[in-house]
Amino acid sequence: MEIQQTPENTLSVSTVKAIINAPIEKVNIADWLLNLPDEEYQRCSTKHIGAGITSTYDGQPMSINVEYIGEALMVQHYVAVVHRPDYCCMLSVSDAITPNGPTKVQVKWELRVTQIDDHTCEYSNEIHGTATPEFLEFIKGRSVSIEQARAARQKASDEHNQEETPLFAKSIELKALTGHYGI
């Protein structure tokens, strides 16, 4: 069940865009993401540890990603809420293992591609971090304000997104043009 992001519970919103030098009809973000090999995921960021593909009990595709966002080791259980060639919406209640202990954060990951011209697309990688009730209790118990948590998460999310987005775009481009992974 998705926690609706409000001004009060928003931890971060980070959007980074990059160019894909391939025609939009050859780009399939859902196929790229839901078949992404672990090694390719790791190549797209120095903070990516591992990734795998599975499904929920009811058959929805899932991507399990393990990565560092700032100082937190994140174990993300992304359910593919929407998975089309031009748009994927992935939703996870993620485990955040921090230096101050474990907690949970909701992460909504939106990947989209839009046509620029017959040979070029724009890839958008958008990450929404939302505080769960458990996270709010976690920071309260450590005398951390939501503003402090928000500032730290926004900085870490932006830095991570700046690194991975251009590499994701290159990987998507290669898959679109050759049918293979390997940036």
Residues 6+ apart with CB under 8 A from 31: 85, 175
| Confidence (pLDDT) at 79 | 98
Average pLDDT over residues 155-160: 98
- Per-residue pLDDT tens over the stretch 59-91: 999 999 999 999 999 999 999 999 999 999 999
Domains and CATH numbers, the chain: 10-178 (3.30.530.20)
Other CB atoms closer than 10 Å to residue 71's CB: what's the count? 12
Backbone angles phi, psi at 152, to 5 degrees: -65, -45
Q: Please give the angle made by the CA atoms of 110, 37 and 168, to the nearest 5 degrees.
A: 40
Q: Does 99 have pLDDT greater than 70? A: yes
| Confidence (pLDDT) at 183 | 61
What's the mean per-residue pLDDT of the chain?
A: 96
End-to-end CA distance of the chain: 35
- Per-residue pLDDT tens over the stretch 18-67: 999 999 999 999 999 999 999 999 999 999 999 999 999 999 999 999 99
